Structure 1
Amino acid sequence: MSGPFDGLKVLELGRFIAVPVCGQLLAEGGADVIKVEDLDGDQTRHNGPIMPFEGRQYFNKNRGKRSISVRITEPEVLAAIQKLAAAADIVLANFRPGMSESLGLDYESVRAMNPRVIYGENTAYGLEGPMAPLAGMDMALQALTGLAHMTETGPEPLVNPIIDYAAAMLMAWGVSTALYHRERTGHGQRLNVALMHAAMFLENNQLTHVELLDSWRGEFVRYLKHAFADGKTWADVIEHRETLLPHKVVRAYYGFHATKDGTVGVACNARTQRLKLMSLLGIDDRWTSEPGWMPEDAHAHADYVYRQVATAFAQQPTAHWIAALEERGLPIAPVRHSDQLFFDEQVKANNFLAEVEHEVLGPIKVVAPPLRMTETPLAPRPPVSLGKNTREILAEAGLGAGQIDGLFARGAVREVHETLEDLL
């Protein structure tokens, strides 16, 4: 069966994560994705290096694409890339601010050549405002948006770059939406996904403001302006914020708890779920059992309930609690390490991991496309070596064999021929 994007041509002018992952999703849907890399390749080729120009991080963001490795500022090369953009259905870009304009590969320039183009770009802070010209990456956006995990000793960065991946999936959704619009109207368009906005989307649960209930936020923000300069610690800041909240969700029912032989994640946020868990554990919580009841000290009551739940879970092993909660239809899972997923029966049953054949390294297990479709399935394909398709793509852009040989002779383009000896 063919993929949903069969026949579409995509020019990817991206590096790192957000744009490449979007390109990979399109490639696994059958699109012909041309990835333009500089002479040293996408930086992810050097992250978790396995052999020259091959890194683990490249494998999970760039599968199924064709690679062209060039010095893009070379006039002949740039003209060829512009020609590819003029023929593309979709152009994906995350240039440094101002660079796309200098190369004539910004949306307005590409649209002038190709009115039907769908131009998807990823920026750090959006297109407007004082920070728009600045470069940014996931870690900086975790800091700026408060997405990092807050603890009493200070914020802890999230290990996985979830902002980048969220931006990639939003961009893939945006491209699909724009394709649907183009089918109906014949018009292309520009779409932008900002990392800052993607981070805020991930914080959706916290970013709803009802002035009648949430006016405390203004006071808290004013407090933060001088808190650390006045010698306050993160513990002080967190405690002060809690005193301003009109109420506090009881964390006892939604979080991790130590058992007799491990740790479990429990997710009993709904009142009906809490009542079942209370009954199972034999704990007392009037806040849950008596709607409308409010303790005199909400924070003290929340701590009291948490201690009851934590004490109960510590009395029995993990297997006991999984069986007991599952019998009652309550969400629970053991806390595990991601390495265990390679051997997990549920993962195997649903083919959440896939195997692709690398031309040098052999079989590689990767996360399968995160969407199952019955009529137009997505199919993982292996990544290719740096510049593997440079000659054929330049020829497709209209360059003759002599011109291409000349570019290779001047070191303006590259193709890397990897062998098993490079690894050994």
Structure 2
Amino acid sequence: MAPSPRRTGTPSCRREPVSTERPFAGVTVVEFGHFIAVPWAGQVLADGGAHVIKIEPLEGEPSRHIAPLGGGESRHFLIRNRGKHALPLDLRHPDAREILEALLARADVVLTNMRPGLAADLGLEYEQVRPRHPRLVVGNVTAFGARGPDAALAGMDLVVQGRSGLMVTGGRVKDGLPTTGESPIADYMAAALLAFGVASALYRRERTGRGGRVDTSLLLAALALQNNLMVRVEALDGPRHAAFREWLTRARAGGVPFAEQVERMPRNRVVASQAIYIRTYATKDAALAVACGSPSLRRKFMAAVGHEDPALKAPVADVDAHYAALKAAVEATIASRTTQEWKVALDAAGVPASGVALPVEILDDPQPAANAMFQRFEHRTLGPVTVLGPPVQVDDGGFVPGPPTPAFGGEVRAILAWAGFAPRDVERLLAGGAVTPTAP
């Protein structure tokens, strides 16, 4: 990406030169991000060479304070904010508008996931900045989308997973209630979509010379993750869905347990897949995941476990009864050997299969290590730290994990100087309190 013509030279607050092999070299991002979606999108852009200025409250971004490790750091902050330059800024301070305008004049991209209405109050909506900065790309993440009856509502990953159905299709049941898995997957999907949208808008700017608005939401991200279910063939599915909705209304009014509501939900997956071929199994010592999506893979799987499935050769009269019996037989066979024994046998047969790992095991797994999926660095106060590297790799060092952010507030003078403020104005702004951190 070519840098905006509004500035030249290397920003003084950068800690290292940036190779032109990196896709976002020369691109400056001003990030107003908190928690997950926008911070991780900003980190992806930073890994790709972007110069990212992260605007934080004077007390620091909220994720700094989730299970803090001291010195303004936490695991949550470390994994989503490397390679950035943090600027504490009181957005309601009288001096804030002057600082924001100086940053926008040097920016190519602005990223926000503010609560509904705040970006407009601060003059950061795309329609507000476009007249002054027509080349600026403004990327926004909302909870439910920028329009519609829920547009002004606050929301976070768990809430949106519930609203979208993702909690049912990708979550779990705990104490009889639906809940999410351990990972806030809608947030991370929204981050990936935002980074892709920003890259697309910058690429378009190369041809048109104009910036643009990029919108995504946690709701859209959650729906994208359920793309297999987000389809209705009206002639086939319409009556079935309508009948279920009628039943669901009566069931909820009658106090039918949620687990039963889920069990009655229409699904597109066929009986064979659920019973035998695309599922997890209990082994002698742990669990095994198997995915056989084609007839050839299913035949290989049956041969490896020593069973036959006549339905692979010809239709059977009672599909449910057939697969119920076969399911019990296959489960008993797989339970008789260890996960590793089955892994060896299924690998040899060419069947996609894996043991079910616990996340902590992956940090020491040789396969991610062989592909440089993790980064190990020396933190200034925490010592050696291992984190996930860039989620995409481009040849010749296109994406390189950056260092952790410096001590909070340690780059204020450098960032303000890069933004064009003379030394006396930097001191004035510091004395006025707009950029003076209140916490480490």
TM-score clears 0.5: yes
1:284, distance to aligned residue in structure 2 (A): 4.1
Alignment match, 2:225: 202
1:182, distance to aligned residue in structure 2 (A): 0.9
Alignment match, 1:283: 307
Equivalent of 1:213 in 232, 236, 241: 236
Partner deviation per Cα, 1:280-307 (whole Å, 9 max, x = no partner): 22334333332xx2544x4444433322
Partner deviation per Cα, 1:369-399 (whole Å, 9 max, x = no partner): 1212113421111222222222222233343
- Aligned amino acid, residue 409 of structure 2: G
- Aligned amino acid, residue 279 of structure 1: A
Equivalent of 2:393 in 372, 378, 381: 372
CA spacing shift, 1:278–1:184, aligned 2, 3 Å: same
Equivalent of 2:433 in 380, 389, 411: 411
Distance 1:375 1:118 in 2: 27
Equivalent residue of 1:231, what SS? coil
Partner deviation per Cα, 1:232-283 (whole Å, 9 max, x = no partner): 11332234336x8795353221121111122111111222111111122233
CA contact (8 A) 2:59 2:439 kept: no
Structure 1: 4+ residue segments shifted above 4 A: 244-247, 415-418
Partner deviation per Cα, 1:53-80 (whole Å, 9 max, x = no partner): 1111001110000000011111212221
CA spacing shift, 1:229–1:52, aligned 2, 3 Å: farther
- Aligned amino acid, residue 284 of structure 2: K
Equivalent residue of 1:266, what SS? strand
Equivalent residue of 1:92, what SS? strand
Partner deviation per Cα, 1:109-141 (whole Å, 9 max, x = no partner): 121111011111101111111000111110001
Kindly indicate whether residue 180 of structure 2 is the aligned counterpart of residue 157 of structure 1.
yes
CA spacing shift, 1:344–1:278, aligned 2, 3 Å: same
CA spacing shift, 1:318–1:192, aligned 2, 3 Å: same
Alignment match, 1:222: 246
Distance 1:368 1:236 in 2: 41
Structure 1 unpaired stretches of 5+ = 419-424
Alignment match, 2:198: 175
User: What are the equivalent positions in structure 2 for 1:90-129 lying under 5 Å apart?
Assistant: 90-129=109-148
Alignment match, 2:260: 236
Residue correspondences, number: 414
Equivalent residue of 2:400, what SS? coil
- Aligned amino acid, residue 56 of structure 2: E
CA spacing shift, 1:35–1:239, aligned 2, 3 Å: closer
CA spacing shift, 1:144–1:381, aligned 2, 3 Å: same
CA contact (8 A) 1:213 1:246 kept: no
Kindly indicate whether residue 374 of structure 2 is the aligned counterpart of residue 353 of structure 1.
yes
Kindly indicate whether residue 298 of structure 2 is the aligned counterpart of residue 274 of structure 1.
yes
1:410, distance to aligned residue in structure 2 (A): 4.1
- Aligned amino acid, residue 405 of structure 1: E
1:181, distance to aligned residue in structure 2 (A): 0.8
Superposed CA RMSD = 2.1
CA spacing shift, 1:294–1:138, aligned 2, 3 Å: farther
Alignment match, 2:44: 25
Distance 1:69 1:62 in 2: 14
Distance 1:361 1:223 in 2: 56
CA contact (8 A) 2:90 2:434 kept: yes
- Aligned amino acid, residue 286 of structure 1: P
TM-score norm. by structure 2 comes to 0.88
Kindly indicate whether residue 72 of structure 2 is the aligned counterpart of residue 53 of structure 1.
yes
Alignment match, 2:408: 386
CA contact (8 A) 2:304 2:349 kept: no
- Aligned amino acid, residue 41 of structure 1: G
1:214, distance to aligned residue in structure 2 (A): 1.4
CA spacing shift, 1:20–1:239, aligned 2, 3 Å: closer
1:88, distance to aligned residue in structure 2 (A): 0.8
Kindly indicate whether residue 350 of structure 2 is the aligned counterpart of residue 326 of structure 1.
no
- Aligned amino acid, residue 160 of structure 2: L
Alignment match, 1:397: 419
Alignment match, 2:27: 8
Distance 2:28 2:268 in 1: 52
Distance 1:27 1:355 in 2: 17
Distance 1:377 1:416 in 2: 37
Distance 1:307 1:139 in 2: 35
Distance 1:85 1:301 in 2: 65
CA contact (8 A) 1:356 1:380 kept: no
Q: Which moved more, 1:312-321 or 1:133-142?
A: 312-321
1:187, distance to aligned residue in structure 2 (A): 1.8
- Aligned amino acid, residue 360 of structure 1: T
Q: Which moved more, 1:193-202 or 1:369-378?
A: 369-378
Equivalent residue of 1:343, what SS? coil
Q: Which moved more, 1:259-268 or 1:299-308?
A: 299-308
CA spacing shift, 1:288–1:387, aligned 2, 3 Å: farther
